[in-house]
A = this chain, B = another copy of it.
Amino acid sequence: MKNIDENTITQAVIAAMRDGGNARLRKVMNSLVQHLHAFAREVELTEDEWDQAIRFLTAVGHITDDKRQEFILLSDVLGLSTLVTAQNHRKPAGCTEATVFGPFFVDDAPAYQSGDDIANGASGSPCFVTGRVLSVDGSPVASARIDVWQSDEEGFYDVQRPPESAATAEHRARGWLRAAHDGSFHFRSILAEAYPIPHDGPVGQLLEALGRHPWRPAHLHFMITAPGYEKLVTHIFRDGDQYLDSDAVFGVRTSLIAPWIRHEPGVAPDGTVMDEVFYSLQYDFVLNPADATHQHARNG
């Protein structure tokens, strides 16, 4: 270890991790160090570029707080989030595909009853969402917990609003409810719209320097949990959106695209008489039985 040079440094770092410590962490870090060094060699990273990278990561760290997670955003735009999600959710055909979790979920969103309006004051055209939670054999999954979250018509999640604003205090356009015994659920919300990921920070600057746009196609986030089933984290994407083919975070699956149907004023799916244009969305979610997951992971 006394005379390390550019050819021997990688093995020197690996040798330093040879004994002791957590075996899994050691395996992960061994691989990380090899790939990190291979990258630096491949591009012949200069000291100025290394310095830029240090300053970039510092800026990512400094803009991150309990409301904004720029490291998740970075992982998202580099496709790492999608890769990690995909390789951890290999499922039998017929199950609803998973996609990225994103940085906008919050733990303490309000509970709702079937039929409630989860918009809770968020701006946007009314939208009535219906569907069922099913097992892969088509049988209903009773009483699944359905967490849902989305942006408003201006493209902002409530947590992106100023800390003192009503939106932040009241948790708008997010919440959770339970499916009925027959697996069905319905609630009211607002129309999902395309929006740019937060691009006023270092990740936005990176995208701009790469000539990439920050837009995501309109979508509604779902997290569905039920005993005996693999947790499903996914979005439903709005058919026809101009960004379906260039999602900034690479989250779109064809199977997750669904039509938001436009309705003239009249009677909504839940019987409400609407005096304005409204939308409806119908989607059935198919959960993966937990046993199948394990079996698949073992065989995968």
Is the beta-carbon distance between B79 and A12 smaller than 8 angstroms?
yes
Closest residue of chain B to A237, judged by CB? Answer: B2
**What is the total number of residues of chain A having a CB less than 8 Å from a CB of chain B?**
77
Is the beta-carbon distance between A82 and B21 smaller than 8 angstroms?
no
A114 adjacent to chain B (CB < 8 Å)? no
The answer to whether A3 and B253 touch (CB under 8 A), given A57-B71, A78-B36, is yes
Closest residue of chain B to A207, judged by CB? Answer: B21
A6 adjacent to chain B (CB < 8 Å)? yes
Is the beta-carbon distance between B17 and A212 smaller than 8 angstroms?
yes
Which B residues touch A62, using CB under 8 A? 61-62, 64
Q: How far is the CA of A88 from the CA of B6 in the complex (A)?
A: 9
Q: How far is the CA of A2 from the CA of B253 in the complex (A)?
A: 5
A299 adjacent to chain B (CB < 8 Å)? no
A40 adjacent to chain B (CB < 8 Å)? yes
Is the beta-carbon distance between B4 and A28 smaller than 8 angstroms?
no
Q: How far is the CA of A250 from the CA of B14 in the complex (A)?
A: 11
Identical copies in the complex: 2
Which B residues touch A180, using CB under 8 A? none
Contact of A43 among B2, B28, B71, B246 (CB under 8 A): B28
Interface majority SS (helix, strand, loop, mixed), chain A: helix
Chain B nearest CB: distance from A269 CB in Å?
A: 28
The answer to whether A79 and B45 touch (CB under 8 A), given A22-B209, A252-B2, A257-B2, is no
Q: How far is the CA of A5 from the CA of B84 in the complex (A)?
A: 10
Q: Select the residue from A17, A47, A69 with max chain B CB neighbours within 10 A.
A: A47
Which B residues touch A93, using CB under 8 A? none
Q: How far is the CA of A12 from the CA of B246 in the complex (A)?
A: 9
Which B residues touch A37, using CB under 8 A? 79-80, 83
A-B contact pairs, 24 of them (CB 8 A): A1-B250, A2-B245, A2-B257, A3-B253, A4-B250, A4-B252, A5-B86, A6-B86, A9-B250, A10-B83, A13-B78, A19-B211, A20-B210, A25-B210, A28-B45, A29-B78, A33-B79, A35-B42, A36-B80, A40-B87, A45-B87, A47-B85, A58-B71, A60-B61
- Closest 10 CB pairs between A and B? A61-B61, A20-B211, A21-B211, A6-B86, A13-B79, A21-B210, A35-B35, A35-B39, A3-B254, A6-B87
11 extra A-B contacts, CB within 8 A, seeds A22-B210, A45-B87, A61-B64:
A1-B247, A2-B244, A2-B253, A21-B208, A35-B36, A36-B39, A40-B80, A41-B87, A45-B84, A54-B72, A57-B57
